[in-house]
Amino acid sequence: MALKKYTSGFTLVEMAIVLIIMGFIIGAFVTPLTVQVEQSHIAEARKDLAEIKEALLGYAAVNGTLPCPDTNGDGIVDGCLNTNATATTGGNLPWSTLGVKSKDPWGQAYQYRVNNAFTTTFNLSTVGSGAGIIKICTDSTCAATESSNVPLIVFSYGKNGAIQPPISLDEQENANLDGIFVNHDFVQDGFDDVLMWISINVLMNRMVTVGKLP
């Protein structure tokens, strides 16, 4: 009488279970890695902005003015329409003129907005006024102000580029180009922008230190 031969192996159910378990294991490693990469990008952006801050202060110390933005994409300063304290001009950071990075870690151009009064020779009493005020708030409602009147701001729109979902209301505020910007914790309500600004006190102190003012 012939003996039945049995073959050993996984059933479809067993293979499905194994694949599910492997998926959990891989997911456990991939998620923290994604978070680490994003944190690394944020840290790099903040480092870039710190270097940009020093470059802008250095530009002011040499020229006695702040640069206008780059509006045609070549990285070189372009002229502002006027020098009124009641107006601001925005565009790409003039990275070539300043000798700094042109793009953030997500491949987007660093953005720059300046109060026009500081793009010509200014004095210790120069401030933005009216529509020329650049203000940093803690959310889109601007219920709390972090800095009420700054000469300039440089920022990155973060991973989502501010034009791809999810876009928070706070990022929409940054995109309005109305002089109001929002700064708070990363990924709070979908917010991932990274900002740097120079206060009037910091700018004036640097100008006094190098003998440009008073």
* Alpha helices by DSSP H, 1-158: 12-63, 95-98
Per the DSSP assignment, residues forming a β-bridge with 115 are 88
**Phi and psi, residue 113, nearest 5°:** -135, 135
Let me know: does 156 contact 181? Beta carbons within 8 Å. no
Residue 2: per-residue pLDDT: 55
Residues of the chain with pLDDT > 90, as a percent, come to 64
The label of the residue with tokens 């102190």 reads 205
Which long-range contacts link 164-168 to residues 24+ away (Cβ below 8 Å)? 166/190, 168/140
Please give the structure tokens belonging to residue 93: 């950071």
Residue 7 confidence (pLDDT) above 70: no
Distances (CA, A) of 78 to 7, 69, 101, 105: 77, 6, 18, 25
Please give the structure tokens belonging to residue 190: 């979908």
Distances (CA, A) of 5 to 8, 105, 140: 10, 61, 73
The residue with greater pLDDT, 10 or 83, is: 83
Please give the structure tokens belonging to residue 197: 């600004």
Residue 133 confidence (pLDDT) above 70: yes
Answer yes or no: pTM beyond 0.85: no
Burial class (CB in 10 A: 0-12, 13-18, 19+), 38: middle
Three-state DSSP state, 153: strand
- Whole-number average pLDDT of the chain: 89
* pLDDT tens sequence across 160-172: 887 666 678 888 8
* pLDDT tens sequence across 72-129: 999 999 989 999 999 999 999 999 999 999 999 999 999 999 999 999 999 999 999 9
